[in-house]
Amino acid sequence: MRNSAAVDALILALPETAGSALYGMLDVLAATGTIWRELVGEEPGLPLIRPRIVSPEERPFRCGNGIPVSPDVTIAQARAPDVVIVPELWLAPTDDIRDRHSGVKQWLRHCYESGSSIYSACSGSVLLAAAGLLDGREATSHWGYQDLLRRNFPKVKFNPAPNLVIADPTGRIVTAGGTTSWHDLAIHIISRHCSPGEALRIAKVYLLKWHGEGQLPYASLVRRQPHADSIVRKAEGWLAAHYREPHAVAAVVKECGIPERSLKRRFKVATGSTLITYAQNLRIEEAKRLLETGNSTADEIAALVGYENPAFFRRVFKRTTGLTPGAYRRMFRPLGAASGTKGKKLSQNAD
C-alpha cells in the first residue's frame, strides 16, 4: 500500500557516482516507517519516504566501479521533490567538474529555488559548489577534497572538520563529510523529514553509526531505569513534576524525608545519575521539545525550563546535546513550521 503523504526523495546518479552510497541510501530511506515495525512485531506501517533514482538520461548505465544503475526518472521528467540527495562522486583531487553536467547543475538550482531540500554526501558537495549553491556558505566534504574546493570554488567556506554542515538558516542545504557520511546524512534526513524517533529506529536496525557529533542530538537524556528503591522512585516522580522550580534538588530532598547524603547516594546507585544531572536533563529535554515545536527565543526557553541565567542554560544545553540551541532548532524544527515575530527574534538570539 502506497503512502501518498510520503516524502518524495530523488537520489542523483551520474557516471561518477559511488554505488555504495547510492544504493545504501536508497535502501535505508525506503525502509523508513516499516522495517522496525516488522522486526518488533508491531502493526504494519506505511513507508514514510519514497526514494527514487534520478539521472540526466533514462537509459541504464554503469556508475563508479561498473555498478549498474537503472534510473526511475530523468531530471527533465522530475518535478522539484521534497528532498534531493547527491551521493559521493568518484573524483580525483585534481578533477574539475565546472564544465561538466551543466543540465544537472541547472536542475539542482531549480529544485532549491522551488523549495527542495538539497543534501550531499562526501564529494557530492563538489557538484553543489559547481552549481553555485554553496557560494558564500559554509560546507564540508571529504578532507581529501579541501584543496580542490579551495582552488576551484574560493567563494565556498570549506570546513573539513565537522561531519555535517548546515549551510543556510533554513536547513535546506546540508553537506556531509567523509565516505561513510551518508550514514549520518540518512539519519539526519529521516529525523528532519519524519521524526528523530524514526531516525533512531532506523539507526538501530541498520547499525548506522553517527560520526563526529555522536548521537547526542538524538538521544533521550531521561531514561527510566528499572530498580526497586521506592524512595528514589518518589524522587524521580517529584522531579518530573517540579524540575522547573528554583532549588528543585534541595526541595526534593525535603520531600523525600531522608538525609541529603543518603538520598544522593541511593539515587546514584539506582539510576546511574546524580540528582542535579537528572534535574538538568529533565530541563534540557523540555528545552529540546520547545525548540522543536515553538518560536520562543533561547532566553525565553531558559526561563521556561527553570534557568535564571540564560548563558548557563546555553552551556548546559551545548554540553548535553552537542549543539547550541539555535543549531538544534535548525536541525530538528519541522519544515514549513510557522516563523512569526518570535521566530525571527530567535534567529538573532538563539546561540
Q: What single DSSP character describes residue 209?
A: P
Amino acid in position 251: A
Cell (9 digits) for 63? 556508475
* Domain span(s) for CATH 3.40.50.880 in the chain: 7-206
The CATH T-level fold of domain 220-351 is Arc Repressor Mutant, subunit A (1.10.10)
- The answer, yes or no, to whether residue 250 has pLDDT greater than 70, is yes
Residues 6+ apart with CB under 8 A from 46: 1, 2, 3, 6, 33, 34
Q: Per-residue pLDDT tens for 185-215? A: 999 999 899 988 898 889 888 888 665 543 3
- Least Cα distance to 199 among 8, 39, 49 occurs for 49
Work out the angle between the directed axes of helices 230-242 and 275-293 (0-180°, nearest 10). 40
pLDDT in tens, 39-71: 888 888 899 999 999 999 999 999 988 999 999
Architecture of domain 7-206: 3-Layer(aba) Sandwich (3.40)
* Cα 261 → chain centroid: 40
Chain segment 1-13, per-residue pLDDT in tens: 556 689 999 999 9
- Give this prediction's pTM: 0.64
DSSP E strand boundaries for 167-204: 173-176
CATH 1.10.10.60 location in the chain: 220-351
Check: CB of residue 70 under 8 Å from CB of residue 53: yes
Find, among 125, 144, 145, 143, the residue nearest to 135 by Cα.
125
